[in-house]
Homo-oligomer: A and B are copies of this chain.
Amino acid sequence: MNTLGYYFRFTNFGESHGPAMGGVVDGVPAGLPLDIEAVQAMLNRRRPGSGAGNSTRRETDKIEILSGIFDGRTTGTPIAFTIANSDARSEDYDLMRDAIRPGHADATYMLKYGIRDHRGGGRASARTTAATVAAGAMAMQFIATAGISVKAAVESIGGFSDEQEIEDALAHARAEGDTLGGVVRCTIKGVPAGLGEPIFGKLQARLALAMMSLNAVKGFEYGEGFAAAGKKGSESLDHPVALDSALHTEQNHAGGLLGGISTGEDITMRIAFKPIATMMRPIPTLRTDGTPCTLEPRGRHDVCAVRRAVPVVEALASLVMADALLAARLSRM
């Protein structure tokens, strides 16, 4: 359950305050030139910065490749990598040993496993996405060989889409010790027709699985999404204009997918993020023994995770597309 993908398989490991995050990418075809600097650059995009809305934890997030690459190319064997946790101040979390943080996975991990690594959220930390970004950056290079590109962007934060309004809202939330959520939009271009599998391998289903696995995500839609629910069929139809190696349509209400399979038009999707649960204000909560207490957060936390989520969304979409691209090699004689 820590593995995403059936053909292009990424296994994510690591806890927030353990020695390292990392992953294994299995199923990558041999002979793919892999630009590790580009992987590092995508990791850098996810790294905590100094702007408003960002955490102050400082990690170099330097990737180390352990296997699967020789002379700059993939060899067809598993690509394992690590990203060291160098700035993991576990002592910040000692106060949380006995308290559960509302809106976090503290209680559910404890209830599930009877044991938990309380330091910084452990396995439930968004720091696990570092490994996902690294693997996704590899997937992105793979799908680029088929002409596929993935681009995500912040659509709104705290309900605002205007850049200055967003900055103001973030500053305001920070001042109040509060946090904000938002929406990320993602578009996949250059998709060959025929990617995606019926029934439970529909491309939107695989994309939804990937996106909903991301911390703080509460909703996923593609194409017209929820808006389609209020429309008539005649308003929602895409008129075919040409059919060659792809299906070209006048509109793209469908979001590039019909029956779970790509038409060749752009795949469009939106992902909703809730506000970060950890706020810089006293929060009444419970101890693990059920008694009440007040939590005074002292770790380093973001005001808003949405901007940092952008490369993670791109990584997840790339992983799904890489898997679908391999699957498509098997669909015909």
Contacts and interface: CB of A to CB of B under 8 A. Distances in A.
Instruction: State how many copies of this chain the complex holds.
Output: 4
B75 A107 contact: no
A203 B106 CA distance: 16
B111 A76 contact: no
26 contacts: A1-B198, A1-B327, A7-B330, A14-B80, A18-B67, A21-B67, A22-B66, A22-B80, A27-B330, A29-B333, A31-B332, A108-B259, A108-B262, A109-B259, A111-B263, A112-B194, A113-B331, A180-B233, A181-B233, A200-B213, A205-B208, A218-B222, A220-B220, A220-B221, A234-B279, A234-B281
A230 B158 CA distance: 4
Given A15-B67, A182-B229, A205-B210, 18 more contacts: A2-B198, A4-B200, A11-B78, A15-B68, A15-B77, A18-B67, A18-B70, A30-B113, A75-B116, A103-B258, A107-B240, A215-B259, A218-B222, A231-B275, A233-B279, A242-B286, A243-B286, A244-B290
A312 to B, nearest CB: 12
B2 A77 contact: yes
Interface in A177-198: 178-183, 193-198
